[in-house]
Amino acid sequence: MLCLRGGPSHQAGRLLAGLAFAAILWAQPMAAKAATPSFGTGQLGVLSSVSATASDAWAVGEGTDPVTGAHTTLVLHWNGASWSQVASPNPGGTKARSDSSALDGVSALSTTDVWAVGSYTSPTTGAHESLILHWNGSSWRQVASPNPGGTTSSGSGTNLQAVSAETAKDIWIVGGYLNRASAADQTLTLHGDGRSWSVVASGSPGGIKKDDLSDLDGVDAISKSDVWAVGEYSTQAKSSGRDAVVLHWNGARWSRVASPNASGQSGQRVTNLASVTATSARFALAVGAFSSDPASSALESLSLRWRGSAWEQVASPNPGGVTGVADFTSLASVSAVSAENAWAVGDDTDASSGALDSVVLHWNGSKWARVSSPNPSTTATYLFSVCAVSAADVWAVGSYYDATTKSDYTLVLHWNGISWLPA
């Protein structure tokens, strides 16, 4: 399915130094989770990604062990009638509050073939290692995964952000890793054949010198010779800002494809692409956020469209405003049923209350329009991922913050063709 979560991770304190753009996009306090969620909306935890078919859906993210406080992987399953939590491995341990495992992406091919990716902190070395899990129809198990960022110390770092399974033998994963020799954060693309994983060269447009940054946040594969990946980069020697990056796989190699940088390329301006979706060789959408005015620091929604020959920016709503320091609209995920029917989700600043609200946009083939969505929190509601199965079957997941309990709760929304409702 073309239902993938992309974008900077939600997990505070768990990112590589070069993945710190998440702090710009979601610079709001997130409370420590108090317990592992059970199912659906309203359970303690955060959901980062969702992938679905007509009768089966998976959502993944991060929970917390109710006894030890350890950060744990969180996997929820929809069987066509209800959501339930499914046990998943925690290689980062579950004995102490400092133990940490989390999932950031999921891709479901069938009821017996699902992939989930993320990262964990090794309890023995403190290294930030890649995490790949596979569902075989009866249980989740960890499979061996490359760690180009190293595994020997707390200075080691590899992070997997998104996964796209085109077939059982053709799976792509993207993310980033810290090159310990150069101290640069570099792009990472992994390819799997269902049995093993290998690193595929993808280039790092931000450079490979100290403090240079290149990171991939979203991926979508539609065939063996047509795969898109998106993210951001920054070359410290040239600018302290961020620029968007788009890569394409043609069946033999990854190459960079020119894309608009809505923010420009100077000062503190930033452009980030968090997610990409494609339905054919002639249609794709990518979304994210940008800031073009260093004086106001307003963050605006960003949408790009591919029509077979070039990427172009298309207008997208900014309900959070575009002029003030606190103005904020960011898109985290996009999923298309067709070139005339796509959905994007994220969050924005409410002009009246100052709260962070969920944002849901719909694409009708020519323009984006905002669609009303639930906001269970008066403080902060986040949508991190969307998966469009059909015109009347769309899932979105994220979290909301309860100021009374000072905890984050899972949020699952469903579009039934008429309205968005909590599931």
The Cα–Cα gap between 348 and 37 comes to 25
Beta bridge partners of 172: 164, 191
Q: Is the dihedral of CA 79, 85, 87, 88 positive or negative?
A: positive
Please name the residue that has the structure tokens 């579009």.
Answer: 415
Q: Spell 93-131 as b/e; 16+ CB within 10 A means b.
A: bbeeeebbbbbbbbbbbeeebbbbbbbbbbbeeebbbbb
Tell me the domain boundaries of the chain. 17-422
Assign 20 a pLDDT band (cuts: 50, 70, 90).
very low
Q: pLDDT above 90 covers what percent of the chain? A: 73
Residue 19: pLDDT over 90:
no
Mean pLDDT score, 205-209: 91
Q: Answer whether 393's CB lies under 8 Å from 415's CB.
A: yes
Confidence at residue 6, expressed as pLDDT on a 0 to 100 scale:
44
Assign 10 a pLDDT band (cuts: 50, 70, 90).
very low
Least confident of 169-178, 247-256, 262-271, 334-343: 262-271
CATH code for residues 17-422: 2.120.10.70
The set of residues, in sequence order, having a beta carbon less than 8 Å from that of 229 and lying 6+ positions away, is: 172, 174, 189, 202, 216, 218, 219, 246, 247, 248, 249, 254, 276
Assign 25 a pLDDT band (cuts: 50, 70, 90).
very low
Indicate the average pLDDT of the chain: 88
